[in-house]
Amino acid sequence: MAETNRSLLLRLEIEDLYARYCACVDSGKLDDWPDFFIEECLYRVIPRENYDRGLPLATLSFESKGMLRDRIYAATQTLFHQPYYQRHIVSGLRILGDDGGAVRCEANYLVIRTKLSERSEVFNTGRYLDKLVRVDGAFKFAERLCIFDSEVIPNSIIYPI
Amino acid sequence: MAETNRSLLLRLEIEDLYARYCACVDSGKLDDWPDFFIEECLYRVIPRENYDRGLPLATLSFESKGMLRDRIYAATQTLFHQPYYQRHIVSGLRILGDDGGAVRCEANYLVIRTKLSERSEVFNTGRYLDKLVRVDGAFKFAERLCIFDSEVIPNSIIYPI
Amino acid sequence: MAETNRSLLLRLEIEDLYARYCACVDSGKLDDWPDFFIEECLYRVIPRENYDRGLPLATLSFESKGMLRDRIYAATQTLFHQPYYQRHIVSGLRILGDDGGAVRCEANYLVIRTKLSERSEVFNTGRYLDKLVRVDGAFKFAERLCIFDSEVIPNSIIYPI
């Protein structure tokens, strides 16, 4: 039962992390987004075909928390784009491994996009492939890969997936 | 561990409430819908822009269980509309506060609509912002705000979100 | 608390089963799909209208694990079709009954389809109605009914829902 409770708690913790991550990016509090990651992190948004074939080309690829901050600065201050809302739905959490130091897990995600004065629409779907580590007791992302099913994005991805 | 178990149970209870709510509105058993609320309740469906700016205008706004019953009567008996199916997907439960008397929580939702002889489509997406209270041991909604991302609804909202 | 832990564990187990099922069909590892079922199983994909009226007509109906294997052979080897990716989102698990021998449960599902070089789109949505039994300690499907909301499918269903 001790093992079981540990497993339940781990699951609960990850689902809570995911929920806070989604609430952050969906509410548009983008300045808080980099804090979900450790300093030496990897964040990539990559088409499924490229990932499956081992091809390196990614739509977005950031390799430090500093680069994540730069991205948010660009998305909110310098990129010229039509604003839109995001809404994340996440399902099917699978804990792939837990070696005590890092937890590897994955989940399916769906992002609905809503442009001003337009109808909501399917924007991006795929799976998260994550590596989580504990910092001061709480999980942060060491890696988050967003492996999406389509190569066709309705316009470009501005905000974090 | 006692604290942890309490937290797990609370989460489980809320997810069960959400699942039953969705099953109710998706199966079309609309007469059962008001019973998810207490007598002195608040149910609102409001565009995100209005909510964020503190504007009072809502698409739907009901302030008692009696008004919820009236709405169901209207939706099923008097409103002239093309029938459609709903399917709710809910994700990302966040418990915002639990003071013993009432629990505040939120979650992302997506409603897929299917009209007879048409393809299923994204209908409405946003977040639930809820206030739950216990009645005879089980949770009911004291408040449910459905804060949706779009101001453009494909036709009007007939059934509960 | 023993009862509560049992309930939590059951829920966790079913959510894990669902997550592995989705990962299997979404990753395209279709040869593994029949192993989610027992030999004497029932798998049906049926329009909601037919199910609700007790009409037997189903889009797909397989009554043994052998038939599931045949289907995968057909889908991957003989059927002429345009390939597509699937992405499953599942939400709202409800445990309907647990008599010790079999667990009946249901959940809402949404399948997003992505064709090569096209945008992702809503493909199929509805609810799973399942009967689970334990084999060597782990749950397998004795029955999985996929009761979908639309009678209009954008092209035919090739892969498992």
Rounded CA separation A101/C128 (Å): 37
Rounded CA separation A103/A132 (Å): 5
Per the structure, how many domains does chain C have? 1
Which residues of chain B neighbour C125 with C-beta distances below 8 Å? 87, 112, 114, 120
Q: Report CB contact under 8 Å: C122, A125.
A: no
Residue C128 has φ and ψ, to the nearest 5°, of -85, 135
For residue A1, the model assigns a pLDDT of 55
Residue C122 has φ and ψ, to the nearest 5°, of -65, 125
Determine, yes or no, domain membership for B158. no
Which residues of chain A neighbour C18 with C-beta distances below 8 Å? 92
- How far is the CA of C50 from the CAs of C53, C61, C122, C145, in angstroms? 5, 13, 21, 12
Residue C2 has pLDDT above 70, yes or no: no
Band (A16; pLDDT cuts 50, 70, 90): very high
Interface of B with A (CB under 8 A): 1, 4, 7-8, 11, 48, 89, 91-94, 106-108, 110, 122-127, 149-152, 154
Determine, yes or no, domain membership for C160. no
Residue A17 has pLDDT above 90, yes or no: yes
CA distance A4 to chain C (A): 8
Band (A28; pLDDT cuts 50, 70, 90): very high
For residue A97, the model assigns a pLDDT of 92
> What is the dihedral sign for C-alpha B17, B24, C47, C83?
negative
Mean pLDDT across the stretch C70-88? 89
Neighbours of B89 (CB within 10 A): 23
Determine, yes or no, domain membership for C13. yes
3-class SS string, chain C:
CHHHHHHHHHHHHHHHHHHHHHHHHHHCCHHHHHHHEEEEEEEEEEEHHHHHHCCCCCCEEECCHHHHHHHHHHHHHHCCCCCEEEEEEEEEEEEEEECCCEEEEEEEEEEEEEECCCCCEEEEEEEEEEEEEEECCEEEEEEEEEEECCCCCCCCCCCCC
For residue B80, the model assigns a pLDDT of 76
Question: Measured between CB atoms, which of C7, C123, C125 is closest to B87?
Answer: C125
Rounded CA separation B149/A112 (Å): 10
pLDDT digits (tens, 9 = 90+) for A76-105: 888 778 889 999 999 999 999 987 789 999
Mean pLDDT across the stretch A34-38? 98
Determine, yes or no, domain membership for A84. yes
Residue C4 has pLDDT above 80, yes or no: no
Instruction: Say whether the ipTM exceeds 0.90.
Output: yes
Rounded CA separation C49/C33 (Å): 27
Closest residue in B to C3 (Cα) is B9
For residue A6, the model assigns a pLDDT of 81
For residue A9, the model assigns a pLDDT of 86
Which has more confidence, A9 or C39?
C39
Q: Report CB contact under 8 Å: A87, B108.
A: yes
Determine, yes or no, domain membership for B161. no
Rounded CA separation A36/A52 (Å): 26
For residue C144, the model assigns a pLDDT of 98
Rounded CA separation C38/C140 (Å): 6
For residue B155, the model assigns a pLDDT of 62
Band (C151; pLDDT cuts 50, 70, 90): confident
Determine, yes or no, domain membership for A159. no
For residue B78, the model assigns a pLDDT of 81
CATH (domain of A105): 3.10.450.50
Closest residue in A to B123 (Cα) is A120
Mean pLDDT across the stretch C45-55? 94
The strand ranges marked E within chain B are 37-47, 60-62, 84-98, 102-115, 121-135, 138-148
Tokens of B161: 């979100």
Determine, yes or no, domain membership for A119. yes
Determine, yes or no, domain membership for B143. yes
Q: Which of C26, C37, C66 is nearest to C145 (CA)?
A: C37
Which residues of chain B neighbour A5 with C-beta distances below 8 Å? 1, 4
Average pLDDT of the residues of chain C: 92
Single-letter amino acid, residue A17: L
Neighbours, chain B (3 or more CB pairs < 8 A) = A, C
Tokens of A114: 């809503």
Q: Report CB contact under 8 Å: A125, C114.
A: yes
Which of A9, A91, A155, A157 is the mutation pick for testing C, counting most C CBs within 10 A? Answer: A91
Q: Which domain holds residue A125?
A: 2-148
Q: Report CB contact under 8 Å: B9, C8.
A: yes
Question: With a cut of 70, which residues of chain B have pLDDT below it?
Answer: 1-3, 153-155
Band (C92; pLDDT cuts 50, 70, 90): very high
> What is the dihedral sign for C-alpha C48, C54, C56, C57?
negative
Q: Report CB contact under 8 Å: A85, B1.
A: no
Residue C128 has pLDDT above 60, yes or no: yes
Closest residue in A to B90 (Cα) is A89
